[in-house]
Amino acid sequence: MNSIMRMEDGDWQIWTPREELSPSYTRIESAEGLGLEIHGAGKHRCYGSWHSRNIRIKEYHSYVIQASYTCRNIGHEHVSIYAIATWMDAEGLLIQRDYLDRVDEHEALVSMRKMRRELESPSRAAYLRLELSFRWSGEGHVVWKDVSVQEHKETYRKAVRVVTTYARPTEDRATNLHLMLNLLDKAGQHHPDLVVLTETFYEGFVQLPLEERCQAIPGPLTKFVSEKARELRSYVLYTMYEREGTYIYNTAVLIDREGEIAGKYRKIHLPLYEAEMGVTPGDEHVVLTTDFGRVGILTCHDQEFPESARILALQGAEVICIPTIGNGLLQTRARARDNGLHVVVAGCGGGVSSSRIIAPSGELIGHVENEESGVFAADLDLNKRLYKYWLSVGPGNGEPRSLYLKERRPDTYGDLIDISSDGGGGS
């Protein structure tokens, strides 16, 4: 990669929105190189940055931008420390702003963090300015180091072909298995990377005690689905009632292209009727890595709770899949819009439209239209970055997916208070 800017090359200037809010700044020259320190100076609500000179760049070029830092006495790094790439036109007018939103620890020095991002410069971009910022921590210190901008030959992943499915399950497991395998055959005609099936399609509507409907994983149902996934050379996501020792879970299983179990997720939010059946909730949000990206899973009632979708986004999910019986159109569109992620829903309650694919904007890409065909396929570009004018960043373009994660205020959310244990219900 060709470096167009290093830390020592920058003509760094200090910035604060108002002098009353200014932290203190120090340039640290040492054998290890330049360090740029910001200190809260006892001002709890201080706010300030180091700004680089305007760096000449080219439009539609890919750049790797990174900045490392060490810090101390900061309660919430996520809130108090950030770095931004600001893109400007030839006249110096704002076009777009992007957080460096990937944060890694240096292997050699655990106390040092590295913010890094690969970005494509927008249309009309002529200059780039880096902003290394610190805010809202009176006693905290941050020292920025090893800042660089490098031209990069961009690598593209192909679009991901996802198929959602629809069929009405019956009260007979053999019939349901036939329907599942038939849906997978229909999905296979689209050469998918991922197929998503309805929640507990195999046994959910069967009128038998729960103990007679569940299976181990791996087990007979896993074997059938695995053989079909291997035949199609596709990932397949389905759910089932899983027996493990004493407990029975509503478990989503992801089978990979080789027919192997890539991972599983146990439904966390159980509706009352399911809990009263004897199903035990899971307690871990899961994001699974595939050869096309990172997949987060919510099952049915989970979609009602925005916290779970947000946790998946924070864990790096690039698409969220929701196998479900219920038809929560508003919720699924909101989960996509809240997090700037594609959402793939495979339902059965509410008719064929309950199996749909939603864009990161919350808009509907499409849904199953014919119950006989039972499938809907869409190509999703997980690399595509969507922008909205004046979203947070001022008179320029901001990226919802990045902004919604970086501008959270977990320092204000606190612990949930249980008011049910001390007479919160009235007299």
Active site residue 199: yes
Side chain identity at residue 329, one-letter code: L
Query: Is residue 120 flagged as an active site residue?
Result: no
Is residue 267 part of the annotated active site? The answer reads yes
Say which of 37, 43, 46, 199 is annotated catalytic: 199
Catalytic residue among 267, 274, 321, 348: 267
Q: Please measure the distance between the N-terminal and C-terminal CA atoms of the chain and give it in whole angstroms.
A: 70
Strand 160-165 and strand 194-196: pairing?
Answer: parallel
Task: Please tell me which residue in 46, 71, 300, 321 is annotated as part of the active site.
Answer: 300
Catalytic residues: 199, 267, 300
